[in-house]
């Protein structure tokens, strides 16, 4: 068992480039190895954070988030599955990891920030739904409550480009 073996509540949420169901993991940012690098958050992130925090009515600590990004010109790959991701949040170190193409995408950044604010890797918050008013990149796979509805939205080119 690796030394960073986490407590049960330590979840990692990922936003797949091809939208998929919620995913949780006990994997921390160290599992990405040299594929990611620390990121000094641009000033815009604090603005997006404040917008989101007010929209969903939550408290948090922006300065407590550790930011990472995939190296320029590379994909952010799930270290467990190899899937291409748009972003991650993990409770482990309260870290957000962004794909290179997501670094300037407020919808993806807000998606990961919402995981941070809710301290949860699931997508139960209504602001994760398509058409949310908070500018959060949605999870387009219907949650269980809507499982009976026809799936009208097939995975598009990527959640990071979703409206
Ligand atoms: Zn997510």
For residue range 69-84, list pLDDT tens digits in order: 999 999 999 888 888 9
Q: Which residues surround ligand 1, an ion (CB under 5 A)?
A: 13, 15
Q: Is residue 115 assigned to a domain? A: yes
What pTM does this model have?
Answer: 0.74
Give me the number of domains the chain comprises: 1
Which residue carries 């301290």 as its tokens? 119
- Whole-number Å distance between alpha carbons of 78 and 86: 10
* Separation CA 72–CA 37 (nearest Å): 10
Distance of CA 14 from the midpoint of ligand 1 (Å): 5
Phi, psi of 41 (to 5 degrees): -65, 130
Residue 162 has pLDDT above 60, yes or no: no
Question: Does a structural domain hold residue 121?
Answer: yes
Q: How distant, in Å, are the alpha carbons of 37, 122, 134, 150, 157 from that of 142?
A: 33, 13, 18, 9, 18
Q: Looking at the predicted structure, is the pLDDT value of residue 150 above 90?
A: no
**Could you tell me if 75 and 84 are in contact, meaning their C-beta atoms sit under 8 angstroms apart?**
yes
- Give the C-alpha distances (Å, rounded to integers) separating 109 from 80, 86, 146, 148: 22, 9, 25, 30
Q: 94: domain range?
A: 39-138
Give the mean pLDDT of 122-127.
Answer: 92
- Signed CA dihedral, 39, 47, 21, 92: sign only: positive
Ligand 1 mean position to 149 CA, how many Å? Answer: 21
Q: Say if 90 falls within a structural domain.
A: yes
73 CA from centroid of ligand 1 (Å): 23
pLDDT-based confidence at 12, cuts 50/70/90? low
Which among 30, 158, 27 has a CA at the least distance from the CA of 100?
Answer: 158
Is residue 13 in a domain?
A: no
pLDDT tens per residue, range 19-37 = 433 344 567 899 999 999 9
Q: Does 58 reside within a domain? A: yes
Comparison of pLDDT for 134 and 27, the residue scoring more: 134
Looking up residue 75, the CATH number of its domain turns out to be 3.30.2010
The pLDDT value given to residue 26: 65
């Amino acid at each position: 068992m690796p030394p960073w073996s986490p407590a049960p509540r330590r979840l990692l949420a990922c936003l797949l480039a091809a939208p998929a169901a919620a995913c949780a993991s006990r994997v921390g940012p160290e599992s990405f190895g040299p594929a990611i690098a620390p990121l000094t958050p641009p000033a815009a992130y604090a603005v997006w954070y404040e917008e989101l925090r007010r929209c969903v009515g939550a408290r948090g600590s922006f300065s407590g988030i550790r930011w990472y990004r995939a190296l320029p010109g590379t994909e952010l790959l799930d270290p467990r599955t190899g899937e291409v991701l748009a972003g991650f949040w993990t409770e482990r170190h309260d870290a957000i990891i962004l794909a290179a193409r997501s670094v300037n995408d407020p919808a993806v950044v807000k998606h990961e920030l919402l995981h941070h604010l809710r301290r949860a890797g699931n997508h139960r918050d209504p602001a994760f739904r398509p058409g949310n008013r908070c500018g959060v990149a949605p999870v387009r796979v219907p949650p269980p409550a809507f499982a009976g509805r026809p799936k009208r939205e097939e995975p598009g080119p990527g959640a990071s480009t979703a409206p």
